[in-house]
C-alpha cells in the first residue's frame, strides 16, 4: 500500500510528558502536592529538555520525516506578562535542530499544561483565557514562527468537554471536583474556587473559551507573520450506535466533537487524534464488549477507529486532515505493530476514497509521563531507562520507521 508523495511520517511527544522539571506549570504543583492524586510526579521525565539533540537524531535514523512536539507555555510565560527569552531561545534551537536534520517540526502551543498563574486564576473557565492565550501565541510566533512548518494551537481542545460528558453520563452531574481536589488547590495556594487545570475542569464552562481561543490564537499567529499551516487538534472517537443507541450517540457526538469540528471550517488543517471507539446503547455509553482486548489504559483495542475518525473529521470540518496522534499503551510491542498496521490500512483506504490526509504521526516517540497514570503505560516506540535515561528502540520503532522510509505499508 503506497502512500501519497509528500505524506508526512512522524512521531509525537508533549513538553510536560518528556522534558522534565516543568516547575512553573500547574500540574507540577499538583503532582507534588501532599494530597496528589497523580500516580507519581513527572520529575525529570525523559530529560528531553537536554537530550532533544540525540532524540532528533534517533528519530531521523529510524526513518521518520516529522516530529510533533510542544513548546511549554509555563516555561515561556512563567509569570503573567513575563516572557522568558531564554526559554524561547531553547525552543528556537530545538526547531532549528529539527530543520537542520530535515525533520518537519509540527509545533503545538498548548498541550494540557499551563502556567500556574493561569490555572490559579480560573484557567480556561475564565473569559480572560482567550486574550491570554492569543498574546502567548503572538509572542511565540514572533520568536519562532519563521522556522515553523506546521503549528497546532490547542491539543485536544475538546478533552475537557469529553471528560465532563463522561462524568455526567456516570451520574456525577453536573460538575463535582474530584476527591482531594480542594485540598490540593489549597496546598498550592490561590483561591480554590477558581482553580481549573485543563484535564480536571468544568468542560461546559471551558469549551466556549477554548473554541474562541483557537480562533483568536489562529489570527494572532497569522498576523504575527506565521506562513505555515495552522490547525487545532481534537480527540476523536469512533462513536458507534448499537440497536436503539442512535439518539444518544448523536447527542454525544455533537457535544464532544461536532461543535468543535464545525468551528474550524476554513482552517489550514485539522489534527485528528484517535485511540479507540465508543459504543452507545439507548441509555448511553456502553463498556467494551466482555471479550475485547484492553490496552494498558483500559481502552478497547480497536485500531479500526482511525479510519472512521479521519472520514468524520474531513466530512464535518471540510479541512485537510493530519493524524497528529494515534497509538497504544501496551507492554507487548507486537500489539503496537498490529495496532499501527491496522490503523494505517484504514488511513490508506480513506485516502483511496479521496480524503485529503497529509500525514500520520504516531504517539509516542518515547515511553513517557502519562499524566494521572504516571510512567506505567508504555506508548513509546522507544523505551527509556528511568534510572539512566538510556533510549532503546523497540521492534515497532524499526518497523514503523521502515514504513515511513518506504512510504509503503507491506
Ligand atoms: C494526549 C497525550 C496522551 C495520549 C495517550 C492524548 O490524549 O494528547 O498527551 O499521552 O493521548 O493517552
Interior angle at CA 105, CA 329 and CA 236, nearest 5: 45
pLDDT at 172: 62
Alpha-carbon gap, residue 320 to 141, rounded angstroms: 22
What's the gap in Å between 359 CA and the centre of ligand 1? 18
Taking the mean position of all CA atoms in its chain, how far away is CA 210? 15
324 membership: H or E segment, kind and range:
strand 321-326
CB 238 within 8 A of CB 202: no
Among 270, 306, 134, 271, CA closest to 209:
134
Question: Locate cell 460528558: which residue?
Answer: 165
Alpha-carbon gap, residue 50 to 259, rounded angstroms: 39
pLDDT at 191: 64
What's the gap in Å between 371 CA and the centre of ligand 1? 8
DSSP-derived secondary structure for 159-179: HHHHHHHHHHHTT--S--PPT
Alpha-carbon gap, residue 342 to 288, rounded angstroms: 19
What's the gap in Å between 244 CA and the centre of ligand 1? 31
Q: Out of 15-19, 171-175, 219-223, 239-243, pick the least confident.
A: 171-175
pLDDT at 245: 97
Does the pLDDT of residue 176 top 60, yes or no? no
Residue-wise over 6-34: b if at least 16 C-beta within 10 A, else e?
A: ebbbbbbbbbbbbbbebebbbbbbbbbbe
Closest C-alpha to ligand 1, atom 9: 14
pLDDT digit string, tens, across residues 20-35: 999 999 999 989 988 8
pLDDT at 358: 98
Pocket of ligand 1 (CB under 6 A): 14, 17, 155-156, 235, 273, 325, 363, 370, 379
Q: Residue 155 CA: which ligand 1 atom is closest?
A: 8
Q: Is 140 helix (H, G, I), strand (E, B) or coil?
A: helix
pLDDT digit string, tens, across residues 52-95: 999 999 999 999 999 999 999 999 999 999 999 999 999 999 99
pLDDT at 195: 82
CB 106 within 8 A of CB 149: yes
Ligand 1 pocket check: which of 154, 371, 376, 378 to mutate, most ligand atoms within 8 Å of Cβ?
A: 371
Alpha-carbon gap, residue 360 to 291, rounded angstroms: 29
Length in residues, the chain: 410
Closest C-alpha to ligand 1, atom 12: 370
Exposure of 265 by Cβ count < 10 A (0-12 exposed, 13-18 middle, 19+ buried)?
exposed
CB 221 within 8 A of CB 135: no
Closest C-alpha to ligand 1, atom 5: 370
Alpha-carbon gap, residue 312 to 316, rounded angstroms: 6
310: left (phi over 0), alpha (psi -120 to 50) or beta: alpha
Q: Is 82 helix (H, G, I), strand (E, B) or coil?
A: strand
CB 340 within 8 A of CB 380: no
Mean pLDDT of the chain: 95
Does the pLDDT of residue 140 top 70, yes or no? yes
Give the number of other CB atoms < 10 A from CB of residue 244: 11
Among 134, 150, 160, CA closest to 69:
150
Q: How many CA atoms lie within 13 A of 321 on its CB side?
A: 30
What's the gap in Å between 204 CA and the centre of ligand 1? 21
Amino acid at each position: 500500500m503506497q502512500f501519497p508523495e509528500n505524506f508526512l511520517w512522524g512521531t509525537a511527544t508533549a513538553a510536560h510528558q518528556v522534558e522534565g522539571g516543568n516547575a512553573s506549570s500547574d500540574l507540577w504543583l499538583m503532582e507534588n502536592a501532599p494530597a496528589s492524586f497523580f500516580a507519581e510526579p513527572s520529575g525529570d521525565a525523559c530529560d528531553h529538555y537536554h537530550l532533544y539533540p540525540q532524540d532528533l537524531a534517533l528519530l531521523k535514523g529510524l526513518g521518520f520525516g516529522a516530529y510533533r512536539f510542544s513548546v511549554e507555555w509555563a516555561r515561556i510565560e512563567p509569570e503573567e506578562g513575563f516572557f522568558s527569552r531564554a526559554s524561547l531561545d531553547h525552543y528556537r534551537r530545538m526547531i532549528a535542530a529539527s530543520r537542520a536534520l530535515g525533520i518537519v517540526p509540527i509545533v503545538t502551543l498548548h498541550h494540557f499544561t499551563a502556567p500556574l498563574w493561569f490555572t490559579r486564576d480560573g484557567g480556561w473557565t475564565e473569559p480572560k483565557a482567550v486574550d491570554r492565550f492569543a498574546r502567548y501565541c503572538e509572542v511565540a510566533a514572533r520568536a519562532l514562527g519563521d522556522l515553523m512548518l506546521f503549528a497546532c494551537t490547542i491539543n485536544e481542545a475538546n478533552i475537557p468537554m469529553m471528560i465532563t460528558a463522561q462524568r455526567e453520563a456516570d451520574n456525577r452531574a453536573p460538575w463535582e471536583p474530584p476527591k482531594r481536589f480542594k485540598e490540593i488547590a489549597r496546598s498550592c495556594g490561590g483561591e480554590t474556587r477558581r482553580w481549573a487545570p485543563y484535564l480536571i475542569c468544568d468542560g461546559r464552562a471551558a469549551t466556549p473559551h477554548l473554541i474562541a481561543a483557537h480562533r483568536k490564537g489562529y489570527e494572532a499567529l497569522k498576523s504575527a507573520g506565521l506562513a505555515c499551516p495552522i490547525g487545532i487538534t481534537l480527540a476523536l472517537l469512533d462513536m458507534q450506535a448499537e440497536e436503539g443507541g442512535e439518539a444518544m450517540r448523536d447527542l454525544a457526538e455533537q457535544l464532544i466533537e461536532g461543535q468543535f469540528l464545525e468551528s474550524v471550517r476554513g482552517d489550514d488543517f485539522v489534527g485528528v487524534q484517535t485511540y479507540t471507539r465508543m459504543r452507545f446503547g439507548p441509555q448511553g455509553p456502553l463498556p467494551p464488549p466482555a471479550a475485547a482486548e484492553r490496552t494498558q489504559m483500559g481502552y478497547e483495542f480497536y485500531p479500526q477507529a482511525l479510519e472512521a475518525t479521519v472520514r468524520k473529521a474531513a466530512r464535518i470540518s471540510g479541512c485537510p486532515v493530519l493524524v497528529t496522534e494515534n497509538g497504544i499503551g501496551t507492554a507487548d510491542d507486537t500489539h503496537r505493530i498490529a495496532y499501527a498496521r491496522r490503523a494505517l490500512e484504514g488511513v490508506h483506504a480513506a485516502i483511496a476514497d479521496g480524503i485529503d490526509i497529509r500525514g500520520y504521526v504516531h504517539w509516542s516517540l518515547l515511553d513517557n509521563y502519562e499524566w494521572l497514570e504516571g510512567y506505567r503505560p508504555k506508548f513509546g516506540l522507544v523505551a527509556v531507562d528511568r534510572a539512566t535515561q538510556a533510549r532503546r528502540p523497540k521492534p515497532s520503532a524499526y518497523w514503523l520507521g521502515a514504513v515511513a522510509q518506504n512510504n509503503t505499508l507491506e
